[in-house]
Amino acid sequence: EDQVTQSPEALRLQEGESSSLNCSYTVSGLRGLFWYRQDPGKGPEFLFTLYSAGEEKEKERLKATLTKKESFLHITAPKPEDSATYLCAVQVPLAGNNRKLIWGLGTSLAVNP
């Protein structure tokens, strides 16, 4: 069964304290891995797409990496405004040319000033 697991469930950091969030997956036919950010009371916001092992993407203090079994979202010198829930989703094929997303439960990040 296709599955996406994120860890830790919650993470509390001091401002400037770098860390990493993990997204591990067991799926058949990976078509892409996606990271999203969700603020309280808002819809998720797309951050990154990764397609193949070894690929990396960066945006400000965030860097996403991908291996054959997992992805990491590295947060360098985080600021309080980075506090949010970070969601990972893996895309797998559906019938025809369509695809579906399998979502993790997210990591809730809190960055203290």
Which chain residues interact with another protein by CB under 8 A?
31-34, 41-46, 49, 87, 89, 91, 94, 96-101, 103-106
| Distance from C-alpha of 111 to C-alpha of 100, rounded to nearest angstrom | 32
Which residue's CB is nearer to another protein, number 41 or number 113? 41
- Residue 77 CB, shortest distance to another protein, in Å, is 27
The CA-atom distances, in angstroms, between 75 and each of 17, 57, 94, 99, 105 are: 9, 12, 33, 29, 19
Task: Name the residue nearer to another protein (CB basis): 10 or 77.
Answer: 10
* Block residue for tokens 């000033």: 113
**8 or 16: whose CB is closer to another protein?**
8
